[in-house]
Chains A and B, each alone.
Chain A
Amino acid sequence: MQYTFDWSVIWRYRGTLLHGLALTLLLSLAGLAAALAIGMIAGAGGASRRPALKTAALVYVELARNVPLLVHIYFWYLGLSALRLPAFWCGVLALSIYSGAYVAEIVRAGIQSVPSGQRAAALALGLSPAAALRSVIYPQALRITAPSLAGVFSQLIKDSSLASVISVAELTFAAGVIEGDTFRTFEAYITITLLYFLVVTAVSRAALFVFGRRGAEVDRRF
């Protein structure tokens, strides 16, 4: 191996990297929030007893899941180029619709694992179906599914790297810029690998903490 490392390029390009990190965080957080919203709605649809809702949720999940994320991205960026959406929002839409399907499947399984007596009791106590879902079923379902949700979230952060393909200047794009300017392939990619690792770990820990604790509160209340 005849490769001499020169880590000074990382310091010289700190601005590019930090800008990329900020965009990766923004992209991931926006995608994550939207994916969670989509997934909770589609997941409730999938667990519902109404055939129309169930079918609609199934069609969405299968269509979104069986198409590569890259094709999702090109769908918004090229397919609907007539809309002239900014690349960043194409990335957010693609990420959230793609990951939303995975969240939906997890939420559906979570809802189905909450004993049906819980819903019956909530309705008998006079809660509306929406209120029963919001304050009885979701908190329990989310706690059960916290580890799987954390997995999808870390997947989403890593998937956000594909937005570099439509020239969103996030972390992977920043590494490409450094590599193109200096030929310092290893330094650039090792650095962003570490940054991804940190972000992914932080977000999945946070997800476990937030959803896990929400469940603990419910436990205390009963």
Chain B
Amino acid sequence: MDFTVIPRNLPYLLGGLGVTLETALLVILGGAAFGLGLGILRTGGLSAARVLAAGYIEIIRGTPLLVVLFFVYFGLPPVIGYRLSAYEAAVIGFILFIGAYIAEDYRSGVAAVPQQQREGALALGLTPRQVRHHVVLPQAVRQMIPALFNQFVRLVKFTSVAAVIGVTELTGAALAVNAREFQPVPIIATLAASYFVLCALLSLVGRGLNRRYAIQA
């Protein structure tokens, strides 16, 4: 067992970490926006949009992430006539996947807003659209901080799956180093520790935000 394998390959591994962080950041932003949009359609006034959103959410939630990635990476290019890079496919796949889960969290956040709030707002003369945007949405979002950060932590762990379609993020880089040096124990231990730190930090941020913004009962 040779732990010097880590310092010797540090620049390469840090490059992988950079890709992981960049992917996670893009997917957190994209996934939150897409999931929120989907959640608004799912709980909104248009019944056709509601049915479509519900169908999409059910299909994605019943499908493994790896299968979604394969769909995007291998299936999408002939349809859209553009050859996606592995990295682009991974980011798109993750956003499509996590969005469905975030939309469901948004829906339960909306359900947690008391009905009287809506009635009160309507009675004060707000239009249903205003009620949704100015009364329900802000409270639902604050309500869903813990669930949202759960999804973000899941997502950081998910980014490792991008290694399977050939993205050299942290896991991909670690596997490449292992293939060259064959020191599985130090490499896998370092890999696990890195993800642990990333996920624990993200959880801490979530807990902090929740303490600050959660609606006190």
Contacts and interface: CB of A to CB of B under 8 A. Distances in A.
B12 interface: no
A63 B63 CA distance: 26
A62 B200 CA distance: 8
B66 A69 contact: no
Contacts, number: 110
B160 interface: yes
Given A63-B196, A78-B178, A161 B67 contact: yes
Interface residues of chain B: helix, strand, loop or mixed (majority): helix
Interface string B152-168: 01001111110110000
B185 interface: yes
A75 B161 contact: no
Majority SS at the chain A contact face? helix
B158 A175 contact: no
A71 B191 contact: yes
Nearest to A193: B63
Interface stretch (A9-17, A141-149, A196-204, A206-214): A196-204
B153 A66 contact: yes
Interface in B164-217: 164, 171, 175, 178, 184-185, 187-189, 191-192, 195-196, 199-200, 203
A79 B185 contact: yes
Contacts of A200: 62
B78 interface: yes
A162 B196 contact: no
Contact of B63 (A66, A186, A197): A197
Interface in A130-172: 154, 158-162, 164-165, 172
A162 B66 CA distance: 7
B128 interface: no
Given A68-B158, A70-B161, A186-B75, A196 B195 contact: no
Contacts of A74: 171, 175, 184, 188, 191
A158 B65 contact: yes
Interface string A48-83: 000000000000001101111111001100111100
B74 interface: yes
Contacts of B75: 185-186, 189
Interface residues of B, number: 37
Contacts of A201: 62
B64 interface: yes
Interface in B56-94: 59, 62-67, 70-71, 74-75, 78-79
Given A63-B196, A70-B171, A179 B74 contact: yes
A192 B75 CA distance: 14
26 contacts: A62-B200, A66-B153, A66-B200, A67-B192, A68-B160, A68-B161, A68-B171, A69-B157, A70-B160, A70-B161, A71-B191, A74-B184, A79-B187, A158-B65, A162-B164, A164-B66, A172-B70, A179-B70, A185-B70, A185-B74, A186-B75, A189-B70, A193-B67, A196-B62, A196-B67, A197-B63
Given A62-B196, A71-B188, A78-B178, 13 more contacts: A3-B78, A65-B199, A66-B195, A67-B196, A68-B156, A68-B161, A71-B195, A154-B62, A158-B64, A162-B164, A175-B70, A186-B75, A197-B59
Which 9 pairs, one residue from A and one from B, show the smallest C-beta to C-beta distance? A161-B64, A68-B157, A79-B188, A66-B199, A158-B64, A68-B160, A197-B62, A78-B184, A70-B160
